Chains A and B, each alone.
Chain A
Amino acid sequence: MSRKKSQKSRGGGSSSSPATSARNLPPKDGARAGGKSCSPDSEVPVNGVVVPGRPSLSNSAEFYDMAFKVMLVGDSGVGKTCLLVRFKDGAFLAGSFISTVGIDFRNKVLNVDGVKVKLQIWDTAGQERFRSVTHAYYRDAHALLLLYDVTNKTSFDNIQAWLTEIHEYAQQDVVVMLLGNKVDSTHERVVKREEGEKLAKEYGVPFMETSAKTGLNVDLAFMAIGKELKHRSMKLPNEPKFKLHEYVRKEVKGSGCCKS
C-alpha cells in the first residue's frame, strides 16, 4: 500500500471541482455508471436491489429483500433530520437545533405488502458548504424527499432552485416528493397548503404536508416512496400499476387531525 506521495497530497485537493464522474465507484454501483436504466418494464432487478433469495444482513442486522437509496434534501433547518428520526425511531428531537454535518447515513427496513424493503436514507446537511458532497451522492439516489418549512418562506422559495439542482445531478427517473414540514406550528405558518400543491403540480411531483413533531404523514411519505420503488423494481405482470400520485392523494391526512 505505498502510493506516491504527490498523488496523495493531490487527492486531498480542491473540492470545488465538480464530481469527476464515475471514477472509483464502489463495485455495487458500477453497473449504474454504465448507464443502466431502471425503466419499469425491465425484468431485471433495478440496480442497488439485492436479489431475493440471497438475503443480506444489513447494519441493523435485519433481513431484507431489496434496498433503495432515499435522500432528504432542502434548506438548512427545515427539519430533515427530525423527519428521519420520527420515521426511524418514532421520536421527536426536541430542544436546540443541531445542524447535520455532511451527510448522515441510516437504514430502515419497511414491510411493503409483504416484501422487506430496506431504505438506505441519506440525511443531508442543508448548508451551502456541503453542496459538493451532496451533489456527489445525488446520482445514487432512487428517491428524493424535498422538504421546505411552512413557517419559512425562503425555504419554500428555494424549492425551485433545489428542483433545478435535482434535475442536474440526480438520475432521470428519480422519484421526487415534495414535503411541507412543521405544519404543527399553525400560528407561524406563512406558506399555504395551496401554494405547495400548486408548485408540486407545476413540477409534476406528489406533495404532502408533514409534521415531524406530531408524526403527521411522516410514515406515509416513506411508505409511498417504498411502494413506488418496490413496484418499479418488481413489475409483476398481473399486478395493477402503482400510481404514486393517487396513493398519496387518497392516504394523505390534513393537518387538522394527527396520526400516531
Chain B
Amino acid sequence: MAADVQKKKGWEVQNGSLAPLDSLQLERSESPTPSMMQGSEPGAGQEGTMFVHTRSYEDLTTDEGPVSMGLKKGDGDQIESDMEQISKDFSELSTKLTGIPMDMEEELRENDSDQQEKPRRDSVLSSGKNDEDVTTDSWRRHKKQVFVLSEAGKPVYSRYGSEEALSSTMGVMMALVSFLEAEKNAIKSIHADGYKVVFMRRSPLVLVAVARTRQSEQEIAQELLYIYYQILSLLTWTQLNHIFQQKQNYDLRRLLAGSERITDNLLDLMAQDPSFLMGAVRCLPLAASVRDAVNASLQQAKAKNLVFSILISKNQLVALLRKKDQFLHPVDLHLLFNLISSSTSFREGEAWTPICLPKFNASGFFHAHISYLAQETDLCLLLVSTNREDFFTVSECKQKFLDRMRRRGSYQTLQEALRTPFYSVSQVGIPELRHFIYKSKSSRLFTRLCLPSPKIEAPYVTKEEKERLLGLYQYLHSRTHNSSRSLKTIYYTGTNENLLAWVTGAFELYMCYSPLGTKASAVSSISKLMKWIRREEDRLFILTSLTY
C-alpha cells in the first residue's frame, strides 16, 4: 500500500514537468506538418475504407449518467459512517437482491419447474484453470482483477482464482450496483487507496475491474467492454438475453466452459498490445507488390457464402477481403485475433467454429474456418462464412488460395518478407527515436516501430518492459482522450524515456525518445517522421479496400 502512495507521488511530480502545455500547443499549430483533414493523412485508405467507422468510446458515452463514488483517503470517519450505512442497507437489500418483483418471481418459479436442468453437462464445470487461493496476498497483489457476474450475483468469470471462492465478493459487487440502481442511479467507479474499481453494466451481465494500473477509468471500462464483446462472440447477444429471460439465476459458466483461456488471453493481450488502446488494427508492413499478389489469390478463392477472407500473422493484418457493402469493425477483428492467439491447436488441421462478430451483428453466428497456411508459419487464414454447412466448400477455398500462391511463387515471396518484417529505427533516420505508434483515424489502421533494435541495450523487449511502455502510452492516450479536458499535444519526461503525443482530427502519433533527447529535437523530428511514414505508406498500410 505504501508503495502505491509512493508511486503515485512520483507520478505527480513527473506530471509537473508537463506544465507549459499551452505554449507547446501554439508551437504545434505552426508545426511543419499542416493539420490534415481526415482521409488525407498518411495511411488513409484511397478507395473507401476497410472498416466500419465508429467513435472510439461510443459504447461508453451511451451510458446512463455517470456517478463516481470517490472515497478519499484520510476522511476516515466519513468512510466509516459510509460503510456503516452501506452494511445497514445490505440487510435491507438482501430482499431486493434475490432480485425481482413478486409477480415475476412467481413466473420464474414456474419456469424453473418446467426446465429441469439436464444433469448431463455437469462434468464440464469441474474442468477449470488451476485455481489460485483467493485469500492469499499474492492474489491481492495482481495488478488488475476482472470479474464478470450475472445480475443475480452469480459468478461468470474471474481472472484469478476460482469463481466459486469469489461468489460472496461478487455478491457484494452486485449489492453495490443494485443499491445505487434502487435510487435510479448507477455506479461507474470507486477510487480509493490507489485502486480504481470500475463497474460496467451490460444487462444481463455486470463487469467489474479492480485495477491499480495507470489507466484511466475510461480505458479500464473500454477493456471491460472488450470482455463483454468476447462473451457475446461466444454466445451472441440474443442467446445471452434469452437464457437469462428464461432463468434469471442461470449459471452461465456452463455455456462458457472451456472459454476461460480465451478471455484470459484477451486480458493478457490488452496489457501488451496497443491495438486495443488505439481501437485500430495493426498492419503487417509488406511491399505493395507482395500484398497485391496475396489479395489477387484471395480474390480467386471465393465462395458464395464467404463474407470475409482475412490473412493474419501474429495479430497483424496481412490482407483483408470482404463482400461488397459488408464492413468489418476493428473490435470484431481484434476478437478474431484473440481467438486465434489463444490456442495453439489451430496450428494443426483445420478448425471450423461458430463465432459472433458483435459489432457486425450481435444476434447471429458466422462460421469461421481457421487454418495456418503451414505448420511452421505464423500466417493464418480466416474464412468467414454465413453457412454452418459450408466447411467443405470453404476448405476448398483455402486449398485454392494456397495452390495459387504456390504456383505463382507468391507464397515464397511472402514467407521471405515475413522473415524480415519489421522496420528499424535506422530506417526512419531519427537517432533519438526509440519507438512510435502512428494511427490513421480514417482507415483505423496503425503502425508501430518494432524493437529490438541493434542498439546497445534493446529496451521494451521483455514482457514487463512492453507492458511498461504500453502503460506510458496508455497515460498519454488518457490525457489526449479525456472527455472533459483533452489535450492535443503532450510531452512527458520520464526517468527512462521521453514521450510525445500528438492527436489531431486525422491521426494520432505517439513517440518514445531516448531520455537524452531534448524536447526541441523531439518536436523537430515529428515532420521527419511524418514524411517517412508518408513515403512508406503503401508498405506500412493497406490503402485499398478490396471486395470479392
Contacts of A188 in B (CB 8 A): none
**CB atoms of A125 and B360 under 8 A apart:** no
Interface pair A103/B353, CB less than 8 Å apart: yes
Judged by a CB distance under 8 angstroms, whether B239 is at the interface is: yes
Bound complex: CA A98 to CA B346 (Å)? 11
Determine which of A8, A29, A128, A154 lies in contact with B326 in the assembled complex, contact meaning CB atoms within 8 Å. A8
Q: Tell whether, in the assembled complex, residue A11 and residue B387 are in contact, meaning their CB atoms are under 8 Å apart.
A: yes
Q: Given the known A-B contacts A98-B345, A102-B354, A104-B348, are A12 and B323 also in contact in the complex, defined by CB atoms under 8 Å?
A: no
- In the complex, whether A94 has a CB less than 8 A from a CB of chain B is no
Contacts of A75 in B (CB 8 A): 121, 123-124
- Whether B513 sits at the interface, judged by CB under 8 Å, is no
Is A81 positioned at the interface, with any CB of B under 8 Å from its CB? yes
Which residues on the B side are within 8 Å of A137 (C-beta)? 391
A29 to B392: give the CA distance in the assembly, Å. 10
Nearest to A20 among chain B residues (CB) is: B389
Q: How many A-B residue pairs have CB under 8 A?
A: 164
Stretch in A155-163, A175-183, A218-226, A245-253 with 4+ CB within 8 Å of B: A155-163
Establish whether residues B239 and A16, one from each chain, have CB atoms under 8 Å apart when the complex forms. yes
Tell me whether A28 is interfacial, beta carbon within 8 Å.
Answer: yes
Chain B residues with CB under 8 Å of A152's CB are: 123
Residues 60-74 (chain A) with a chain B CB within 8 angstroms: none
A105 partner residues in chain B, CB cutoff 8 A: 349-352, 391, 395
**A158 in contact with B120 (CB, 8 Å):** yes
Q: Is the beta-carbon distance between A128 and B257 smaller than 8 angstroms? A: yes
B255 to chain A, nearest CB (A): 5
Contact B389 A23 (CB under 8 A): yes
| A-side interface size class | 35 or more
Which residues on the A side are within 8 Å of B361 (C-beta)?
9, 12
Q: How far is the CB of B396 from chain A (nearest CB, A)?
A: 8
Name the distance in Å between B308's Cβ and chain A's nearest Cβ.
Answer: 11
Q: Contact: A15 with B352, CB < 8 Å?
A: no
Do A76 and B366 form a contact, CB below 8 Å, given A8-B323, A12-B361, A136-B389? Answer: no
Q: Is the CB of B238 within 8 A of A128?
A: no
CB < 8 Å neighbour of A13 from B258, B346, B363:
B363
Taking CB atoms, residues of chain B closer than 8 Å to A132 are 354, 388
Q: How far is the CB of A191 from chain B (nearest CB, A)?
A: 12
Q: Looking at the assembled complex, report how far the CB atom of B311 sits from the nearest CB atom of chain A, in whole angstroms.
A: 18
Within 8 A of A (CB), among B196-219: none
A4 nearest CB neighbor, chain B only: B325
Q: How far is the CB of B147 from chain A (nearest CB, A)?
A: 21
A147, B204: Cα distance in complex, Å: 35
Partner of B387, one of A16, A24, A85, A158: A24
**Inside 8 A of B353's CB, which chain A residues have their CB?**
101-103, 125, 130, 133
Bound form: Cα–Cα A13–B348 in Å: 29
| Interface pair B354/A104, CB less than 8 Å apart | no
CB distance from A145 to the nearest CB of B (A): 16
Minimum C-beta distance from A30 to chain B (A): 11
A11–B391 CB distance below 8 A: no
Residues of B contacting A85 with CB < 8 Å?
348
Of B123, B352, B370, B386, which one neighbours A154 at CB under 8 angstroms? B123
The smallest C-beta distance from B302 to any residue of chain A, in angstroms, reads: 6
Q: Check B305 against A28 for contact (C-beta < 8 Å).
A: no
For B366, the chain A residues whose CB sits under 8 A away are 12
The proximity string for A residues 2-21 relative to B, scoring 1 for CB distances below 8 Å and 0 otherwise, is: 11010011011111100100
Q: Does residue B236 face the partner (Cβ distance < 8 Å to A)?
A: yes
- Pick the contact of B123: A9, A12, A23, A158 (CB < 8 A): A158
Q: Is the pair B120, A98 in contact by a Cβ cutoff of 8 Å? A: no
Within 8 A of A (CB), among B383-419: 386-393, 395-396, 399
Q: Does A25 contact B (CB under 8 A)?
A: yes
B122 contacts partner chain A, Cβ-Cβ < 8 Å = yes
Interface of chain B residues 104 through 121 with chain A (CB within 8 A): 118-121
Kindly state whether residue B531 has any CB partner on chain A within 8 Å: no
B220-233 near A? 1/0 per residue, CB < 8 Å = 00000000000000
Which residues of chain A are near B261, meaning CB under 8 Å?
Answer: 98-99
Q: Assess whether A101 is in contact with B392, with CB atoms less than 8 Å apart.
A: no
Query: How far is it, in angstroms, between the C-alpha of A106 and the C-alpha of B386 when the chains are bound?
Result: 23
In the complex, the answer to whether A24 meets B305 with C-beta atoms within 8 Å is yes
Q: Which of A25, A130, A133 has the most CB of B within 10 A?
A: A133
A100 touches B364 (CB 8 A): no
Q: Render A99-142 as a binary contact track against B, CB cut-off 8 A, 1 for contact.
A: 11111111100000000000000010111111011001100000
Nearest neighbor of B390 in chain A, beta-carbon distance: A24
Q: Is A96 part of the contact surface with B, judged by Cβ < 8 Å? A: yes
Q: Which of B124, B239, B304 neighbours the largest number of chain A CB atoms within 10 Å of its CB?
A: B124
A14 to B388, CA, bound (A): 11
Smallest CB-CB A-B distances: 10 pairs: A102-B353, A11-B386, A99-B258, A154-B123, A106-B349, A12-B364, A26-B392, A13-B364, A77-B127, A76-B124
20 more contacts with CB within 8 A, not counting A1-B304, A98-B261, are A1-B323, A9-B364, A11-B386, A12-B366, A24-B393, A26-B390, A59-B399, A75-B121, A76-B123, A76-B127, A96-B130, A99-B259, A99-B261, A100-B345, A102-B354, A106-B349, A129-B256, A133-B353, A154-B123, A161-B120
Can you list 18 residue pairs at the A/B interface with Cβ under 8 Å?
A: A1-B302, A1-B304, A1-B324, A14-B364, A26-B396, A75-B123, A75-B124, A76-B123, A96-B129, A98-B345, A103-B353, A105-B351, A106-B349, A129-B256, A133-B353, A133-B354, A152-B123, A161-B118
Which residue numbers of B lie inside 8 Å of A, CB to CB? 118-124, 127, 129-130, 234-236, 238-239, 254-259, 261, 302, 304-305, 307, 323-326, 339, 343-346, 348-354, 357, 360-361, 363-368, 370, 386-393, 395-396, 399, 547-548
Chain A residues at the B interface, C-beta cutoff of 8 Å: 1-3, 5, 8-9, 11-16, 19, 23-26, 28-29, 59, 75-77, 81, 85, 96-107, 123, 125-130, 132-133, 136-137, 152, 154-155, 157-158, 161
